[in-house]
Structure 1
Amino acid sequence: MEIPEKVLKLRYHILGALLLCLTIFSVVLVAPRLMTLLGYFWPLLLSTALVLALVFFFAKTCPLSSTDSTSFQNAGQTLLDYVAGHHEPPLDSRHKSD
């Protein structure tokens, strides 16, 4: 009589453990193997790693000076003004086809 009462007391723990075991078992059987995924995606992973390495390399070797950052801000503001429609006509109003 004592064992069924303890099993009944732990029924949610036992059910949770069974569900966890079934989930792990089904993932192992159904999911593709890691080497299969790496074999399929290795070009994408390699190119992404190379691009990130180049970005870090250029960030370390080409630091921006303070004058460069202000010119970038001015260029960005000019571009935003142009896109917003607040641009001035070009100085040379003649077209190349004239």
Structure 2
Amino acid sequence: MEIPEKLVKLRYHILATLILSATILSLITVAPRFMNLLAYFWPLLLSTALVLALVFFFAKTSPLPATDSSLDNSLLDYVAGPQDPPLDSAHNKFD
């Protein structure tokens, strides 16, 4: 009688182990092989690698941008558009 009581205590552990084992077994038998995936996706992987190589090449060979912050601020102001003044008592238009 002692063994069934221990099995009842461990029923969730046994169930989780069975589900995990079935999942791993189904992934091994049903999932495509790595070489099939590589054969299908090699153009995408190659083009991504070439683009990254070009990005690193241009990052190394291009000169660093000027540190003048006025250029950066004017660009940010252009992108952000006109800004309304803050709505506090010091900037109230109706006083």
- Specify if TM > 0.5: yes
Task: Write the distance in 2 (CA, Å) between the matches of 1:48 and 1:64.
Answer: 25
Give the residue type in structure 2 aligned to 1:40: Y
Does residue 63 of structure 2 align to residue 66 of structure 1?
Answer: no
Equivalent in the alignment of 1:87: none
Give the TM-score taking structure 1 as reference length: 0.67
Match of 2:22 in 1: 22
- Displacement of 1:6: 0.8
**Change in 2 beyond 3 A, CA 1:27/1:43:** same
CA spacing shift, 1:28–1:50, aligned 2, 3 Å: same
- Give, in angstroms, the shift of residue 26 of structure 1: 1.0
TM-score by length of 2: 0.68
Tell me the matched-pair count: 81
- Runs of 4+ aligned structure 1 residues displaced above 4 Å come to 69-77
The residue number in structure 2 matching 1:42 is 42
Deviations 1:34-61 (A, max 9, x none): 1100011111101100110110111112
DSSP-derived class of the 2:63 partner: coil
How far the C-alpha of 1:76 sits from its partner, in A, is 5.2
Q: Percent identity?
A: 66
